[in-house]
Copies of this chain bind each other. A is one copy, B any other.
Amino acid sequence: MQTGCLELGNFQTQSGELLQDARLSYETHGELNADKSNAIVYPTWYAGTHEDNRGAIGVGKALDPERYFIIVPDMFCNGLSSSPSNTKPPQDRGRFPSITPYDNVIAQHRLCSEHFGLEQLQLVVGFSMSAQQAFHWAALFPEMVKAIAPICGTSKTSPHNLLFLEGIKRALTADASWANGDYVDPPENGLRAFTTAYASWAFSQTFYREGLHLTIGGQHFDSMTEFLEFFHGIFARHDANNLLGMLETWQLADVSNHAKFGGDWHAALSSITCPAIVLPSRTDLYFPPEDNEVEVAMMPSAELRIIPSVYGHAAGFPGLSTAEDDEFIDDALRELLSQS
């Protein structure tokens, strides 16, 4: 396990703005083999860092560091790669450029090709926003990506998902102490509103009905309030501008948003010819299976495989739901890796 940081120089974003002195943080697991044929990319997701991906990586798992060289690039705005919180004026805080999933994927591609000298990836796997990046990877670099496994994520943020995000964004920014990103102290009331509203989306109705929030992640909570405190912590470790930056990337997710496709969603998806297993959770409230169903129908070599979980979106977060959910996903990854 090794962390690193690639200096990208002045990085051209899709917004048109040059991101000054851009940097891409990452962690790797395992060793690259001699013919460079064992690399996997597994990006980070919303409010995550490379540390959160570790739950899916380990000896005996599909993402086995004894067999594969697994690269976990940190998304822009996550506080480790270039972010509102760590960028100098005039691009600091609320003035940080808009970042798209393609911006992330293009930076990650430089890491893979220029830094590691890779010409192929056995698999790009991702959860949530990271699943969105997997779709973008396969569409933009089809000669390089041999398989993808998008878990609980879509190739394009749906209108409903976009609205859910708009709601939690407005909850955060309704707090005047946010001050358009120039807050002195973190906007506490806004952040609380944000995480409370988020909590109602991140898990299913049945998850809460069955009281599973009280024992999530092997923990024990006595009340909804205690659980919410835990959930709040997942986000509150991030700077509010970073949260808003990643949220904007999510809202901008669209695999067809590239000159190669000119906004043609069907063209972008049908260009993904590598094997794909698309893994929504049956009870995901913002990336519901129906959204993936539409996509898989446009992809020549894709299979829809629904995770039979009551954990909602969290079914795809490694180590957070159940061993069965993790195993269900691992089986799909093994299947793809055995073919690629």
Q: Which residues of A contact B (CB under 8 A)?
A: 158-164, 166-168, 170-177, 189-190, 192-193, 196-200, 203-209, 211, 213, 224, 285-286, 288, 290-291, 294
- Please provide the 8 A-B residue pairs with the shortest distance between their CB atoms, ordered closest to farther: A167-B197, A170-B193, A171-B171, A160-B208, A174-B193, A159-B208, A160-B205, A164-B200
Residues of B within 8 A of A173 (CB): 189, 193
Instruction: Tell me whether A163 and B224 are in contact (CB under 8 A).
Output: yes
Q: Are A176 and B189 interface neighbours, CB within 8 A?
A: yes
Contact A171 B176 (CB under 8 A): no
A150 to B167, CA, bound (A): 29
Q: A164-B200, A167-B196, A174-B190 are in contact. List 8 more A-B contacts (CB 8 A).
A: A160-B205, A160-B208, A168-B197, A174-B189, A176-B189, A205-B290, A206-B290, A285-B285
Q: A175 contacts which of B166, B175, B204, B205 (Cβ < 8 Å)?
A: B175
Copies of this subunit: 2
- Rounded to whole angstroms, the CA-CA distance of A176 and B193 in the bound complex is 12
Are A209 and B291 in contact (CB-based, < 8 A)?
Answer: yes
**Chain B residues with CB under 8 A of A193:** 167, 170-171, 173-174, 193
The answer to whether B159 touches A209 (Cβ under 8 A) is yes
Please state if B209 and A167 are interface contacts (CB–CB under 8 Å).
Answer: no
How many angstroms from the CA of A314 to the CA of B192 in the assembled complex?
28
B residues near A177, Cβ cutoff 8 Å? 176
In the complex where A158-B208, A285-B285, A290-B209 touch, is A171 in contact with B197 (Cβ < 8 A)? yes
The residue of chain B having its C-beta at the shortest distance from the C-beta of A312 within the complex is: B160
Q: A176-B177, A200-B160 are in contact. Are A205 and B171 (CB under 8 A)?
A: no
Supply 12 A–B pairs (Cβ within 8 Å), ascending by A: A158-B209, A159-B224, A167-B171, A167-B193, A172-B174, A174-B175, A174-B189, A174-B190, A174-B192, A175-B175, A176-B177, A209-B294
